[in-house]
Amino acid sequence: MDAPPEQLTLDLDGWEGPLDLLLSLARAQKVDLREISILALVEQYLRYVERARVLQLELAADYLVMAAWLAYLKSALLLPRDPQVEPDPEELALRLQLRLERLDAMREAGARLMARDRLGRDVFARGAPEGLRTVRTGPYEANLYDLIAAYGRISARSRPVMHVVQDREVMTLEAAIARVSALVGSAIDWRAIETFLPDMASAGLRRSALASSFLAALELARQGRVELWQEEAFAPLYLRAPAA
């Protein structure tokens, strides 16, 4: 039996992917899917894709992937069977047939489902039901903890809010510039930036002083009043007075 592929319009939007197209081609053969010749089907698919290419229709990638796979399957089916070759082409063909049968079964099932007496289309529920109501009655429950926690919540909420920002010891940029420029003086040796920091300081103040001193060093370097040297990123930073 020879189903002319010319009957198929080349409407790519009509199919949902290669498997859908294969199933449509198979159905056009009008035989039980279990009896279908996979080889004939493969040839139809390849002819279809070839035609689409001749007409310069853009084919989605998955159609081409399927075409390549089917071309491989076709050659494997036509060549004398080599038992060493895995997977067995007969097996591949059978798997393809099983997939087509399953998709076909679901398509059929979907059509039968849609044809049933559907609520709101073929049969109708009562248009204006009175409705059923469930009225809840019964004792209320709350415990003492809920009660006092609620009061705590309200008290906390209604208490006047005052935000206090604690004083932090900081070194200002101005102070750092004064300190670094004074200390660097006319030193000709490289000195690490840490040696410019005040000794006493708390950890917080040292961090502030380091940040300010670094900015001070950059500023002084820009003004040509200090030279900077660092071997690599994150390496110690050295300062000295510019060579006269």
Partner 1 sequence: MTDPQTLRAVEAVLFAAAEPLTPDSIRAHVGELDVRGALAALVGHYEGRGIRLVERGGRWHFETAPDLAHLLRRDREEVRRLSRAGIETLAIIAYHEPVTRAEIEAIRGVQTAKGTLDVLMEAGWVRPAGRREVPGRPLMFATTPEFLSHFALKSRRDLPGIEDLRAAGLLDPVDLAFEQLAVEKTDEDD
| Of 144 and 200, CB closest to partner 1 | 144
- Compute CA 56 distance to the chain's CA centroid, rounded to the nearest angstrom: 34
17, 204, 236, 242: which one binds partner 1 (CB under 8 A): 17
125, 182, 200, 233: which one binds partner 1 (CB under 8 A): 125
CB-CB contact of 46 with 67 (8 Å): yes
What's the closest the beta carbon of residue 206 comes to partner 1, in angstroms? 25
Question: How far apart, in whole angstroms, are the C-alpha atoms of residue 31 and residue 20?
Answer: 17
3-state secondary structure of 112: helix
39, 85, 150, 218: which one binds partner 1 (CB under 8 A): 150
Residue numbers 213-242 binding partner 1 by CB under 8 A: none
4, 80, 83, 131: which one binds partner 1 (CB under 8 A): 131
Q: Residue holding tokens 């409407």?
A: 11
Stretch of 72-80, 154-162, 198-206, 212-220 contacting partner 1, by CB under 8 A = 154-162
Stretch of 5-13, 35-43, 104-112, 186-194 contacting partner 1, by CB under 8 A = 104-112
3-state secondary structure of 230: strand
Q: Does 116 bind partner 1 (CB under 8 A)?
A: yes
Question: How far apart, in whole angstroms, are the C-alpha atoms of residue 130 and residue 21?
Answer: 51
CB-CB contact of 196 with 180 (8 Å): yes
Question: How far apart, in whole angstroms, are the C-alpha atoms of residue 107 and residue 32?
Answer: 15
Residues constituting the chain: 244
| Of 114 and 203, CB closest to partner 1 | 114
| Of 148 and 192, CB closest to partner 1 | 148
